[in-house]
Structure 1
Amino acid sequence: MKRFPVSLSTKLQSRTEANALRQLPEQKNGVDFSSNDYLGFARSELLFQKAAAMLSQQHNSHNGATGSRLLSGNHAFYTEAETKIAAYHQSESALIFNSGYDANLGFFSSVPQRNDVVLFDELSHASIRDGIRLSNARSYKFLHNDLEDLERQIKRFQNDQGSVYIVTETVFSMDGDSPDLEQMATLSERYGCFFVVDEAHALGVFGEKGEGLIDALGLREAVFARIMTYGKGLGCHGAAVLGSVRLKEYLVNFARSFIYTTGLPPHAIATIHAGYLALETEAAERVRLKENIVHFNREKNLLGLKPLFIRSKSAIQSAVIPGNEKVKNIARQLEQSGFDVRPIMAPTVPEGQERLRFCLHSYNTSEEISKVLHLLNRLL
């Protein structure tokens, strides 16, 4: 059928006119400042071999899970990996989902109930917002990392019959910044709220063993649920919700994105397990990443670029350059000089907040970091 709805054509045309039409990019060969592979695990031959060895030891050559986990898909690798994950994060339980998006969708659509209230940071990831939208709870956003606004909103609902959920991320994907998690935990405890955090961009980056910011700050007992995503620092795919055994039981029974989907294949779960083993043994990668973050911040300050960047101590460093056309032009010139730095444009971020998003990795060299920042300085 060649006909296409006029309403959809109009929306595509509007995106084109705003220079914001998304297209699938070709694989680029420049110095990587764009991927979420913070520790280089996605390209690690050692991790690949560890996962293959696990499969070989159990004589498992299956290409798929064969069904949902509640039917035929709950293969033995799931139990081993979830046990490892829970122990690593000192959590009662872990439940693996097919992706971070699925985990957030399943959690937020099923856990908050009709009389409950969800208070979420205004810059929360789309998967969190989509999950909340599917729930029966009322939801309200609070100003980004603003504890006063959060407390004001908590007080509005503290006498309601339902529960109040406070939702944030330990590292925000577009800004790279972090909230005051200790104060948020204090507020949550003071008012009897349930604290939920997404650790997607903190896993592998923060903590003595790369376990994330909640563990690093000793806040695990203050948190009702943590969402760990494996497509970033762990270099593979999937996600897990950490929490009580009772929470796991609830999600298995009510999280639709868990119930009604085919499970991940054995090799995907083996890779997650191998990723955690690598976190324990590859401390040098985390050290190099931290050194690169420090070097990046030092260089941008020396070049006078600090006002351009959002304050961040994470692997995500964003330089705000307003205007889709302007930020695309600078990204194009960086690419022509051999650097893969991606522009983040409206409507992914608000108009006027367009940016270059630099993702730092353990395998970037200090020379590459200095060179790309000096080039950015000249282009501006």
Structure 2
Amino acid sequence: MSIFGKFAALSARYDRLKQSGADPFSVKFDDILSSVEGVVRGKKTLLFGTNNYLGLTFDEVAMEMSADAIRHHGTGTTGSRIANGSYKVHAELERELADFYRRKHCMVFSTGYQANLGMISTLVGKDDHLFLDADSHASIYDGSRLGHAPVVRFRHNNPDDLAKRLRRLADQPGDKLIVVEGIYSMLGDTAPLKEFVDVKREYGAYLMVDEAHSMGVLGRDGRGLAEREGVEDDVDFVVGTFSKSLASVGGFCVSSLEGFEILRLASRPYMFTASLPPSIMSSTISALKTLRREPERRTKLTANSRRFYNGLRGAGFNVGPECTPIVAVIIDNPDIAVAFWKRLLEEGMYLNLALPPATPNASAFLRSSVSAAHSDEHIDFAIALMTRIGREFGLLPNETNVCPFPVSAERLGATAATARALPTAVGAGAGMA
């Protein structure tokens, strides 16, 4: 028996997927041309699955700052933050993030995944209790496994269920930490944060919000869902990532609680991981400043999200419950979803494919993430292409309107004829990197 035998069921499912001629987990980009265009199998492809919300991956200032940091500081630190891996630029980014979030403290981690891993596994111990939304990201669940606190799951976005579970443990000693997300990465729905705050207050718990997909997206200044809902003072910890709106890699946690700094010596994922290279720190600082300086990017992102979401919904697709930059088309038959995804890629559009058992109710999702860098033409092309393929697969009635933003007959004809020439989308992972 091979040591890999335990993965036999997974291997069988993957083999069946590959035999269908579609392998969404092994897409390779031959080239990346811009924030929204790439080349896949020699074909120009429009990118609708990269979480590049503000379109900053090719920002000239950020790229120059990153290159300059390499010239001055080399390619890496070769050490952890508590050894030789803390440079001036790491402290600068932590100050910038703390200032942005109006908090006293900030810790930067080497990935967003590690930020959740490090904070959750450290903040609560065996005598405490951890309360997780059932739809939490894998990094949150993995953080709970690394730690020693008993885990209580509550129904997704259900404050009443959370309150019921806290009530049962009201007399138990120890701290209680609630973890929710700003925007959930699969369906794009947001947490009912005001209601969660009310529950947190009633039971004297702590609250952490993972704003990975809502940083730079929600709120007047882009601080996320807590800012939009006006409850920032009631959120004890904000965790986030640089790999979405800030177009790099890494993660962070900000807080104003006294004693926070001891976590640098208590969090194993922070202590025992090599720190990010100065080039990443420098480009992230630049992107954060752009986020703050150019709110019009967020305005454009919001408009693009509405255009795409309303267009797909108007065409008759079953989309997620809320309009955010994450737009998911829900398809009951996973085999049709796989074939649909394959056709989109063949015709020049890349997005993400999510399949059971990672999705609820045995459904599959065609998951897009809209960018501020998408033009109206990009979005209308994507709506028209998805609508045409949806009709071919019998998911939509033929008489359904393409979208509430009418495309001329001439342009629709051109769209069908030039699909290979226009940019399209392939979807990067929805997870926090």
TM-score of the superposition, structure 1-length normalised?
Answer: 0.92
Aligned partner (choices 120, 129, 132) of residue 108 of structure 1: 120
* Alignment partners' CA distance in 2, 1:62 and 1:246: 35
Q: Deviations over 1:50-72 (max 9, x none)?
A: 4445x39xx83322113111111
Structure-2 separation of matches of 1:271 and 1:88: 16
CA contact (8 A) 2:121 2:145 kept: yes
Alignment counterpart, residue 214 of structure 1, candidates 226, 245, 258: 226
Q: Secondary structure at the match of 1:113?
A: coil
Q: Do the aligned residues in 2 keep the contact of 1:157 with 1:164 (CA within 8 Å)?
A: no
- Of the three residues 39, 44, 62, the one matched with 1:47 is 62
Letter in 1 for 2:174: G
Q: 1:365 aligns with which of 359, 363, 375?
A: 375
Equivalent-residue separation in structure 1 for 2:313 and 2:7 (angstroms): 45
Task: Indicate which of 24, 31, 44 corresponds to 2:46.
Answer: 31
Separation in 2, partners of 1:51, 1:287 = 27
Q: CA deviation at 1:336?
A: 2.0
Match of 2:177 in 1: 165
AA aligned to 2:273 is T
The gaps in structure 1 that reach 5 residues or longer are none
Cα contact 2:313–2:319 (8 A) shared by 1: no
RMSD: 2.0
2:308 maps to 296
Shift of 1:49: 2.1
CA positional deviation for 1:121: 0.6
Partner of 2:86: 74
1:239-250 equivalences under 5 Å are 239-244=251-256, 246-250=258-262
**1:242 aligned counterpart, secondary structure:** strand
How far did 1:299 drift? 1.7
Match of 2:267 among 255, 258, 265: 255
Q: How far apart are residue 320 of structure 1 and its match?
A: 0.8
Does residue 339 of structure 1 match 2:354? no
Identical aligned pairs, as a percentage? Answer: 27
Give 1:17 deviation, angstroms.
5.6
Q: Is the 8 A contact 1:93 1:248 kept in 2?
A: yes
The CA deviation at 1:342 is 2.2
Superposed CA deviations along residues 188-232 of structure 1, whole A, max 9, x for unmatched, are 011101011100000111122222121233322101111011100
The CA deviation string for residues 287-314 of structure 1, in whole angstroms up to 9 with x for no partner, is 2111101212332343233xx0111221
* DSSP-derived class of the 2:275 partner: coil
Which amino acid counterpart does residue 296 of structure 1 have in structure 2? F
Give structure 2 stretches of 5+ with no counterpart: 30-39, 396-433
Which 10-residue stretch deviates more, 276-285 or 98-107? 276-285
Residue 238 of structure 2 is matched in structure 1 by: 226
Residues 177, 311 of structure 1: 8 Å contact kept: yes
How many pairs were matched up? 373
**C-alpha deviations, 1:277-336, integer Å up to 9, x for none?**
11122223212111101212332343233xx01112211011111233211100111122
Structure 2 residue identity aligned to 1:73:
G
| 2:375 aligned partner, one-letter code | T
Question: Using the alignment, how far apart are the partners of 2:259 and 2:194 within structure 1?
Answer: 23
Q: Which moved more, 1:239-248 or 1:270-279?
A: 239-248
Report the CA distance shift for 1:9/1:106 in structure 2 as closer, same or farther (over 3 A).
Answer: closer
Q: Deviating runs (4+, > 4 A) in structure 1?
A: none
